[in-house]
Amino acid sequence: MVQNMADSQSNAYRKHDVPEDYLRKWQETINVLARTFNVPAGLIMRVLPEEIEVLVSSQSEGNPYESGERAKLDTGLYCETVMATRAPLHVPNALKDPQWRSNPDIKLNMTSYQGMPLIWPDGSVFGTVCVLDQKELKSSNDYVQLLKQFRQIIEGDFQLLERNVKLQDALRNLEAAHTSIQDANRRMRRDLVAARDIQQALLPKRAPCADRLQVAWAYRPCDELGGDMLNVFPLGNQQVGFFVLDVSGHGVPAALLSVTAARHLWPYAGHDVVIPEDVSAPFARGLDTRVAELNGTIAMEATAGHFLTLLYGVLDLRNRVFRFVCAGHPFPLLSRGDELREIGIPGLPIGVIREAEYEETEVDLQPGDRIYAYSDGLLEEADSANELFGSTRLKEAILQTHGMPLGESVDALMNVVLAWGGRDSLRDDASIVALEIG
């Protein structure tokens, strides 16, 4: 029955074109999806008249799928059923299911699947968004809701693409008004520069005054306005707070959301004065609660489909204890002598599920320990062959710079990533905060 539906549907499929900048945004999205599900493969599939294509594949360890791969239709793939029925599909274990035990994906050891259809605004099928795993993939309401939210993000971009086509047609009709368009571009440029200055004014002016602590950071937006934001701030009682956040996408919407989130986490950003301890102390308590409050204030419907990842932490220098919450963000790296390891408990990105809960991680530190918190723009910088810098090279670079002073180490890390890309600027926003216990 399903096979017959796929046969009849395949005659009606057509290719939907997607610009490169949307693919880069979806790459961020699918990376976070795979990381949150803790699976090797997160995919956005696109159907063609006679084939199905891996349009975007998560850059995760053990993923056997590569972007650009194609397969013939009518071969019994999980995604064909999703497209044919236009309904979600959950296969916990194909090896135990007679309907799926001959599925071609089993040859890649992908025995469990959860996916949803992606529908173009005109009602035609675009493809699917899905996750696959080598072990049994149990469904939960949170994960189903998460997959639905990511589908809404992608289908929201479909709407934008359709509108952009109409806008481009309108712009072609306005070529006669070239002079006024140039004036508007100059005004927009001035506004972008002013907005950039406001955003960068929220970055830390100087390292917080604290005994036994060194701090360094670097911030590199890929455009005038960035979706990354960071800050380091004193909380009194020999405690220092900091965060690194990364909003999906770029430009004005991402920058506005990053500023909103940053002001929620530390409302005194940009104030070059000493904040009284009785005012700042509450920001050192209940990090999981503060992150949950931020998540509750950000509704995806009001942010044009953007979400953000966040690392929010507090260092207690009296007891040498590091507490932090990780919300869909790359785990921080703890450097101790020749040892370098990731630490943290995974959490959902901010703005995906309103009722999400978060959990603190607590780590005891020693003199000389360094903590590196960074956004994934460092990992996703690509060279001329489109090979990503990746976490392994980042860790190697950190170990190689361990003997340098902290500030020089951070500058060297950023230069290594820039050299890998071979350009004067990065293709994604990138931020890093490093702290060393004296």
| Domain coordinates in residue numbering, the chain | 2-168, 194-437
Asked if 113 and 135 touch (Cβ cutoff 8 Å), the reply is no
Distance separating alpha carbons of residues 266 and 69, to the nearest angstrom: 45
Quote the percentage of the chain above a pLDDT of 90: 51
For 348-393, how does the pLDDT look when each residue is reduced to its tens digit (9 = 90+)? Answer: 999 888 889 999 999 999 999 999 999 998 999 999 899 999 999 9
Distance separating alpha carbons of residues 245 and 309, to the nearest angstrom: 6
Q: Three-state SS for 223?
A: coil
In terms of CATH, what superfamily is 2-168?
Answer: GAF domain (3.30.450.40)
pLDDT average, residue stretch 149-170: 87
- pLDDT for the residue numbered 264: 84
- pLDDT for the residue numbered 11: 55
Selected residue with higher pLDDT from 263 and 181: 263
pLDDT at residue 428 is higher than 50: yes
Dig out the tokens for 273 from the structure. 């004065």
pLDDT at residue 129 is higher than 90: yes
Distance separating alpha carbons of residues 212 and 437, to the nearest angstrom: 6
Selected residue with higher pLDDT from 168 and 245: 245
- pLDDT for the residue numbered 184: 64
- pLDDT for the residue numbered 199: 66
Quote the percentage of the chain above a pLDDT of 70: 84
Q: Which of 1-15, 81-95, 204-218, 332-346 has the lowest mean pLDDT?
A: 1-15
- pLDDT for the residue numbered 177: 61
- pLDDT for the residue numbered 118: 96
pLDDT at residue 218 is higher than 50: yes
For the chain, the residue count is 438
For 76-103, how does the pLDDT look when each residue is reduced to its tens digit (9 = 90+)? Answer: 899 999 999 999 999 999 999 999 988 9
For 28-42, how does the pLDDT look when each residue is reduced to its tens digit (9 = 90+)? Answer: 999 999 998 889 999
Residues ≥6 apart with Cβ < 8 Å to 246: 227, 228, 308, 309, 310, 329, 375, 376, 377, 429, 431
Distance separating alpha carbons of residues 87 and 283, to the nearest angstrom: 44
Tell me which residue has tokens 């070529």. Answer: 175
- pLDDT for the residue numbered 1: 36
Residues ≥6 apart with Cβ < 8 Å to 76: 3, 102, 103, 104
For 269-285, how does the pLDDT look when each residue is reduced to its tens digit (9 = 90+)? Answer: 655 555 556 556 667 67
pLDDT at residue 105 is higher than 80: yes
Tell me which residue has tokens 């916990």. Answer: 92
Assign a CATH topology to domain 194-437: Phosphatase 2c; domain 1 (3.60.40)
What's the mean per-residue pLDDT of the chain? 85
Query: pTM of the full predicted structure?
Result: 0.64
Burial of 367 (0-12, 13-18, 19+ CB in 10 A): exposed
Q: How many CA atoms lie within 13 A of 298 on its CB side?
A: 31
